[in-house]
Structure 1
Amino acid sequence: MLYRLFAIALCVLLASCQKPEMPQGTIAKVERILSGQTIEVISTADKIALLEQIRLIGIDAPDFQQQPWGEAAKQRLEQLIGGKQVLLESDIAEKDQSDRKLAYLWQDGILLNEQLVKEGYVLASGRSRNTKYQQRLLNAQEWARLMNKGLWNPERALRQTPAEFRQQNQQK
C-alpha cells in the first residue's frame, strides 16, 4: 500500500513539473466516432469541407470483440467529443499505413488521447515515430494501472492487448 501511494505521488509530481504545452494545429468538427481511437471530422481546408478519418496518436483501443472494452472506449470518446470541435495536432508522421491522418486531439486545454489512457479506456502505444507526448501517455497509463481504472480493474481486466488480440484473430 505504501508503494502504491508513493508511486501515485511520484506520477502526480512528475506531471505537475512538466511545462504545459501550447498545442498548435487545426480546428475540426467531429462528425462521427468510429472506435476508441478513430474518428471522422469535417475540416475546412482551403474553404472546402472535407470528411477525414483521424487516428489518435499514441493510443491503442481494444477491438470491438474485446467486450466490454471496445465499445466502452468508443462510447467514452463519444461522450468527450461527439459533435464538438477539437484541435487536431500533428507530429512527425502525418498519416498511417491506412492513409488516415494521425493527430493528438485537444479540447479545452485537455489532451484527449491522454484522458482516455488515464481513465483506463485505452492503452498507451509507442509503436510509431510520433513521440511528442509519449511520456505523458505512459505516465497516464501507469496512474490508471495503479488506481485500477477501467481495463486495469482486476475484477474485469483486459486479458490481451489490442495488438495481441488482432494478431491472434488474424491467424484463425
Structure 2
Amino acid sequence: MKNRYIFTVLSVLLCYVSTACQSQSDYVYSVKGETEEVTSTPREDEPSHKEKEKRWKEGFAYVTKVIDGDTFWVDNGKESFKVRFIGIDAPETRNSRWKKKGYYASESKEYVRSQTEHQWVRLEFDVQAMDRYKRRLAYIYLEDGTFLNASLVEQGYAVVDTYPPNVKYVEQFINLQKQARETEQGLWGKMPE
C-alpha cells in the first residue's frame, strides 16, 4: 500500500513537471542583473540554432522581440542579447524612473516591429561595443540593405542622440532630422489635441 501511494505521488509529480515544461511558451532573458521576460511564443518557422549560427558568421542576427523604437532582442544561435540602436533615441513606450512615455512611441515601436521582428538584420558596430546597461550598441541594416537607424530619423520615428565615441553617422543623422522637422514627419508633425 505504501509503495502504491509513493508511486502515485511520483507519477502525479512527474506528470505535473512534464506538463509545465511542455506548456512553457515564454523565454526569460537575463543580462547582468537585468531580467526581461519575452512574451512571444516560439514560432514554428523560427530558424534553428545552426541556421542562426551560420547567419551570424555572415554578419546577421535573428530578431526575437522588439522592446521599443530603438531596442530589440536578437539571437545568434549561441546567445540572445539586447541591442540598442546607436545614434538615435525613440520615444519611450512606458514610464520608467528616468523617462516618461513619449509621444509617437507606439508608432515608432510598431514600425521597428514590422521591419525586424522574426527577421534577419545585419549589425554594424562602432567604437564602443556596449552601454552601461550591458546592451550591445549597433547600427541596424535590414536584409534589403535599408539602414534602419537612418530610416527611423528620416521618417520621424526617432531623434538624433549620439554619444562619443560612437559618432560614425552623426552628420547623416543630423541632416535627416533637419529634413524630417522641415517636412513635419512623424513625431515632428502636429500633436493631436
Superposition TM-score, scaled by structure 1 size: 0.70
Q: Which amino acid letter does the alignment assign opposite residue 130 of structure 1?
A: N
In structure 2, runs of 5+ residues without a counterpart are: 1-57, 95-100
Runs of 4+ in 1 over 4 A off after TM superposition: none
Distance in structure 1 (CA, Å) of the matches to 2:130 and 2:102:
28
Distance in structure 1 (CA, Å) of the matches to 2:176 and 2:157:
11
**Residue 91 of structure 2 contacts residue 108 of structure 2 at CA under 8 Å; is this kept in 1?**
yes
Distance in structure 2 (CA, Å) of the matches to 1:127 and 1:70:
22
Q: Which amino acid letter does the alignment assign opposite residue 42 of structure 1?
A: D
Q: CA deviation at 1:75?
A: 0.7
Q: CA deviation at 1:129?
A: 1.5
* Counterpart residue number, 1:93: 128
Which structure has the larger Rg over C-alpha atoms?
A: 2
Q: CA deviation at 1:68?
A: 4.3
Determine which of 69, 79, 82 is the counterpart of 2:117: 82
**Residue 88 of structure 2 contacts residue 159 of structure 2 at CA under 8 Å; is this kept in 1?**
yes
Determine which of 66, 79, 82 is the counterpart of 1:53: 82
Distance in structure 1 (CA, Å) of the matches to 2:162 and 2:124:
17
**Residue 71 of structure 2 contacts residue 85 of structure 2 at CA under 8 Å; is this kept in 1?**
yes
Distance in structure 2 (CA, Å) of the matches to 1:133 and 1:127:
11
In structure 1, runs of 5+ residues without a counterpart are: 1-24, 158-172
Mapping of residues 19-168 of structure 1, within 5 Å: 26-44=59-77, 49-65=78-94, 66-107=101-142, 108-153=144-189, 155-156=190-191
Mapping of residues 6-21 of structure 1, within 5 Å: none
Q: CA deviation at 1:71?
A: 1.5
Q: Bigger relative contact order, structure 1 or 2, given CA contacts below 8 A and separation 6+?
A: 1
* Counterpart residue number, 1:6: none
Q: Which amino acid letter does the alignment assign opposite residue 157 of structure 2?
A: Y
**Residue 91 of structure 2 contacts residue 103 of structure 2 at CA under 8 Å; is this kept in 1?**
no
CA RMSD of aligned residues (A): 1.5
Question: CA deviation digits over 1:4-34, x for unaligned, max 9?
Answer: xxxxxxxxxxxxxxxxxxxxx8210010001
Distance in structure 2 (CA, Å) of the matches to 1:63 and 1:81:
18
Q: Which amino acid letter does the alignment assign opposite residue 120 of structure 2?
A: Q
Residue 55 of structure 1 aligns to a residue whose secondary structure is: strand
Between 96-105 and 131-140, report the one with greater CA deviation.
131-140
